[in-house]
Amino acid sequence: MSRRPSFQKKGGRRRPVRKDKRPLTTVGGVLAAVLVFLILAGGWVVWTYRGPGPAARHGPATTVILARGSSVGEIARDLRGAGVIGSREVFLLAAKLGGAARHLKAGEYAFASGEPMAQVLSDIEQGKVVKHFVAVPEGWTSDMAADAVRAEPVLTGTTEAPPEGSILPDSYQVERGEDRAEVVQKMRAARDKLLAELWANRAPDLPLQTPEQAVILASMVEKETGLPAERPRIAAVFENRLRTGMKLESDPTIIYGITRGRPLGRGITMKELVADTPYNTYRIAGLPPTAIANPGRAALAAVLNPPKSDELFFVADGTGGHVFASTFAEHQANVAKWRAIERGRAAVAAAGAGAGK
């Protein structure tokens, strides 16, 4: 049965109306194409962000320095230029949508070859910068510490050696481009802070009038022994001597007067032992005029809170430590033992030298 076309009247004339128009087919195709494009584009964005990043151009990692005050756009540009990320736009999108853009930190970064962009962004947000350190061991002089700061190649500027005893021995993290004078000032500030805390909690009735006197004595304790357990005991001996008016008679002070604390490389001569210098504690009464090294936390603590003791003497025991005594007679016996050890070692050395000829 055939269907008649319907008509609509227009201007007195009747025209047929088509009911099978098909423009939606074209629209649907376009929408489908757009949807496919969006899915593919989204997949590319996710892959670019989550998948492996570009390979390093040289070596196993790429180093990038992000300057202070850089915008997220400048950071993205620098990373793309260095070949760390594959898309500046995806980095910007991820940083802004995820909120990381407000927390990106300047500094020196080393990104592993192929590191995903997601990890790169996380590293910068968390400030996982390349770490450089300047180490100042306990007992180093200020000249030696200044030399270490000058030798660190990532630092800039120049610095003078600070006053003896004014820095705290430690391992200090530094950043590329940091000023050397600022690094030394950081070391001095650390010592001042620690010294103030220890001085405020010092034992009563110490024979020390000022914090700087404590630093001087602690520097002597630091240089007298390499054994941490001996520091409090040696501190007690020196303070007992100060109370009784005895001379401190510390060999390291003589050496400091000769070499400013650099290794002497030999024994102290009799002429040096009797020389009348400000640092010869065999001749002067009380403390030397300045510290002879930079004491660490343990030496400072030992001086400011020494154990109760009546010991007045100590001498090397031949094993790297010392033997202590309360009386001069006991000390003389201990010295005799040490001299015997020295003579035995000298004989062995002489025999070895003779056999080698």
pLDDT of residue 50: 82
In the predicted model, is pLDDT for residue 28 greater than 80? no
Which letter does DSSP use for residue 36 in this model? H
Q: Output the six-digit token pair for 267.
A: 């024994």
What's the whole-model pTM score? Answer: 0.78
Specify if 45 maps to a domain.
no
Specify if 235 maps to a domain.
yes
- The CA-atom distances, in angstroms, between 99 and each of 74, 122, 125 are 17, 11, 10
Helices (H), the chain: 23-50, 72-81, 88-98, 117-126, 142-151, 180-200, 211-224, 231-244, 251-259, 270-274, 297-304, 328-355
Q: What totals of helices (H) and strands (E) does the chain contain, helices first?
A: 12, 8
pLDDT of residue 265: 87
Count CA atoms closer than 13 A to 173's CA, side-chain side: 6
Specify if 298 maps to a domain.
yes
Same domain, 119 and 142: no
Residues of the domain holding 71? 61-126
Contact in structure between 149 and 183 (CB atoms under 8 Å): yes
pLDDT of residue 51: 83
Same domain, 119 and 140: no
Q: Report which of residues 355 and 155 the model is more confident about.
A: 155
CA–CA dist 278, 290 (Å, integer): 9
Same domain, 110 and 167: no
Q: Of the residues 95, 126, 157, which one is the last residue of a structural domain?
A: 126
Task: Report the CATH number at residue 121.
Answer: 3.30.1490.480
Same domain, 116 and 156: no
Number of domains in the chain: 3
Q: Among residues of the chain, what percentage have pLDDT more than 90? A: 72
- Residues near 197 by beta carbon (within 8 Å), at least 6 away in sequence: none
Q: Of the residues 143, 168, 197, which one is the last residue of a structural domain?
A: 197
pLDDT tens, position by position, 295-324? 999 999 999 999 999 999 999 888 889 999
Same domain, 274 and 214: yes
